[in-house]
Every structure is written in structure tokens, then in C-alpha cells.
């Protein structure tokens, strides 16, 4: 079994919990309150600003030219698409915001893998953001009940062939690195992956709750 298949299997129960989140259920039906979606996008903007830096830094550590180019493309392309969505949805928003505790925790986790761990663990830590969004996007497209969903632009970004191709490439690169690892090292990759996977759940839940710093 490929490392990525085993890592996903280890997180299957978390993915099941992600699909039942009120945020995603209401997004799928088009009934998500606008203020919750806008809060999510504001936090996503903070997250992606850091995520793009992490992807670019990982690119510089990859051994093959085509893999470096792929991650640089991920860094530029994914953020550009997201910024377009943010401009579309947040163009009239004047709310001031700062990164939430969950957003700060998630980006901090990935930066730690980048700074203190191996390139394999750094790769594993950024993979859930790709993969979970692809699976969630496909799930929403297959389960929509509202013909005119106000969040359709967001849904179409993650459910479809183009994003799936990027995810497949990221998976391939991760699996290529995992093949050369010792079992102990692969376990460390899985730990980094699982922690990011859990934070995907936390990110959407914190958006639904419009999480604030308690002090």
C-alpha cells in the first residue's frame, strides 16, 4: 500500500467527522449564514498567505527540477485562485480581522515541520490542505440540493478536474519521498499528516463558531 493510502485510511474517521460539520452541510445546501462564510474567508486569507510561503520553501528543498516547479506552481496558482475568490466575496467587507487561534496553530504546525523536521514531514504536513479540499469539493458537488447556491464559485474551485490534477501530483511527490524512507521516518510523516488533517476539521469548525481570542 502506498504511504498516502495508508495515511488517508488512518484519518478516515476524521474525514467522516469533517463531512458532518454544520459549516459544510450548510455550505452544501446554500444555507450557511453569510457572516460565517466571510469569517472563514478572512481566516483563509491569513492561512494562505503563510501556506504559499511554506509551499515555496518546500520547493527549494525538493530534489527534482519538475517537482520544484510543481510546488512553485502550487504556491503561485493556488493562492491566486483563492485571492480571486476572496476579492469576489469580500469586496464589500470592511471588517477588521486577525488570525484566529486555530489559524495560528495550523500555520505554526506547518512552519515547525519546515524548520525543524525533514522535507518528507514538511510535505506530509501540507498535503491535507490539498487532499481534503479536493475530496470535500467533490462531495459537495455530488450532494448539492440547491440549484442557485451563493457559494457556487467557491465550490467549483475545489470540485473538478483541474484541482484534482494538482492534488494527484502532490500525492505522487509525497509517495515518491515516502518510498525511500525507513518505517520510522514514514511514521513521522504520518504523524505530521494526521495533525494537519485534524486541523482541517478545526479550521471549519472555528469558522462556524467565529472563533475569537479569549483574552
**What's the pLDDT band for 89 if we cut at 50, 70, 90?**
low
C-alpha distance from residue 14 to each of 8, 19, 77, 85, 160 (Å): 10, 9, 28, 27, 23
Mean pLDDT calculated for residue range 67-93: 79
Q: What is the model's pLDDT at position 107? A: 98
Instruction: Report pTM.
Output: 0.93
First-to-last alpha carbon distance for the chain, in angstroms, is 46
Q: What is the model's pLDDT at position 80? A: 79
Q: What is the model's pLDDT at position 93? A: 64
Domain boundaries 3-90+97-208, corresponding CATH code: 1.20.910.10
Mean pLDDT calculated for residue range 10-39: 96
Mean pLDDT calculated for residue range 37-41: 91
Q: Report which of residues 127 and 48 the model is more confident about.
A: 127
Q: What is the model's pLDDT at position 45? A: 84
Give backbone dihedrals phi and psi of 144, rounded to 5 degrees, phi first: -65, 140
Residues 6 or more apart whose CB falls under 8 angstroms from that of 22 comprise: 208
Q: What is the model's pLDDT at position 148? A: 87
DSSP 148: S
Amino acid at each position: 500500500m502506498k504511504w498516502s493510502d495508508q495515511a488517508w485510511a488512518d484519518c478516515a474517521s476524521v474525514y467522516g467527522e469533517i463531512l458532518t460539520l454544520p459549516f459544510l452541510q450548510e455550505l452544501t445546501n446554500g444555507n450557511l449564514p453569510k457572516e460565517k462564510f466571510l469569517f472563514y474567508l478572512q481566516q483563509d486569507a491569513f492561512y494562505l498567505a503563510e501556506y504559499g510561503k511554506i509551499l515555496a520553501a518546500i520547493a527549494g528543498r525538493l530534489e527534482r527540477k519538475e517537482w520544484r516547479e510543481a510546488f512553485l506552481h502550487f504556491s503561485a496558482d493556488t493562492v491566486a485562485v483563492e485571492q480571486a475568490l476572496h476579492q469576489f466575496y469580500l469586496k464589500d467587507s470592511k471588517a477588521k480581522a486577525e488570525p484566529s487561534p486555530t489559524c495560528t496553530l495550523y500555520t505554526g504546525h506547518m512552519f515547525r515541520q519546515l524548520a525543524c523536521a525533514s522535507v518528507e514531514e514538511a510535505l506530509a504536513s501540507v498535503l491535507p490542505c490539498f487532499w481534503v479540499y479536493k475530496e470535500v469539493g467533490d462531495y459537495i458537488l455530488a450532494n448539492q440540493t440547491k440549484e442557485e447556491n451563493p457559494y457556487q464559485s467557491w465550490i467549483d474551485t475545489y470540485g473538478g478536474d483541474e484541482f484534482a490534477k494538482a492534488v494527484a501530483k502532490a500525492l505522487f511527490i509525497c509517495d515518491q519521498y515516502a518510498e525511500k524512507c525507513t518505517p520510522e521516518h514514514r511514521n513521522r510523516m504520518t504523524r505530521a499528516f494526521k495533525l494537519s488533517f485534524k486541523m482541517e476539521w478545526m479550521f471549519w469548525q472555528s469558522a462556524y463558531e467565529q472563533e475569537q481570542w479569549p483574552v
